Each structure stands twice: as C-alpha cells, then as structure tokens.
Amino acid sequence: MSDGLLWGLLVVLVCLALSAFFSATETALTSLSSLKAKHIRENHGRAGKVFDLWLNYPHRVLAAVLIGNNMVNIFASIYADNLISKSFGHASVELVTAVMTIVIVLFAEIVPKSLAKTYSTQVALPLLYIFRLFYFQPEKSVRNKKPPTFLSSG
C-alpha cells in the first residue's frame, strides 16, 4: 500500500471520527432538558461554564454542529471517491458511494447517536467542551471589525 493511499485512508477515517463526534454532540445536547443542562453548568465549576454556550445560544450551536457534520461527511465521501478512483478507476464510483453511505449512516450517525442518547448526561460536557474549539462566530467578528476566529463562548 502506498504512502499516499495510507494518508488518504487516514484522512477519511479522521473525517468519519469527526462526523461521529458531531453526531454524538448533537444528540447529547438535544437529549438534555434545560434543567439538566443548568444542573451540569452549576455543578461542574469552571468546566461547566462551557454550558453557557448551549444554554444561551442553542440554535447557533446546533447549526454549527450540523454544518460541521455535513462538511466532514461530504469531504470524507469526496476523498474516498478520489482514492478509489486513483487506485481502481472511475468504474467504482457507485461502489464507493454505496459503501460510504453505509459507513457514515452506521458508524458516524446511528452508533454515536445511540450512545450519546443513552449517556447524554455523562458525555454532554466533554463533547461540548471539545466542540467549542470548532464553534465559529463570523457575525461577532463583523460587529467587532476583527477577522473571524474560533471562540469558546457567545
């Protein structure tokens, strides 16, 4: 197996892992009642403050999660298609599409969402804590006349 193929496979796997992360984050957060979310916020000290993001801007957080998930799913599929096309020719496009659809639905949607639903109280805080690294607020940058940045709170 060539180095290029290994790196390509690694990129696809990272995209699938990110997709699973975004899917789990979406379900863990939307599974919590606002009372549970406030309880987590109040009982986890400094780390719990990250829940202000979800409690104050749930629509923005959810939109960012969904956009991130769609972006990595599309990128994984495109990258997988390019890898297979280079290795086996363009005749395999349909196969790649079918395989990636099954892999994404099972391993980046169903499994992470099922686990996040079951363990929402336990996983919501660590997932949201990591998610804040991906949370992008271009409108705040425009208001402040600064270049867009990744921010940890609203």
DSSP codes of every residue in 15-33 = HHHHHHHHHHHHHHHHHS-
Q: Determine which helix (DSSP H) or strand (DSSP E) holds 120, and give its type and residue range.
A: helix 120-131
Residue 12 CA to residue 29 CA, distance in Å, equals: 26
Q: What is the pLDDT of residues 30-87, one digit of tens each?
A: 999 999 999 999 999 999 999 999 999 999 999 999 999 999 999 999 999 988 888 7
Q: Could you tell me the end-to-end alpha-carbon distance of the chain, in angstroms, rounded to an integer?
A: 46
Q: What is the pLDDT of residues 125-141, one digit of tens each?
A: 999 999 999 887 655 55
Sign of CA dihedral 54, 140, 151, 67: positive
- What is the three-class DSSP state of 150? strand
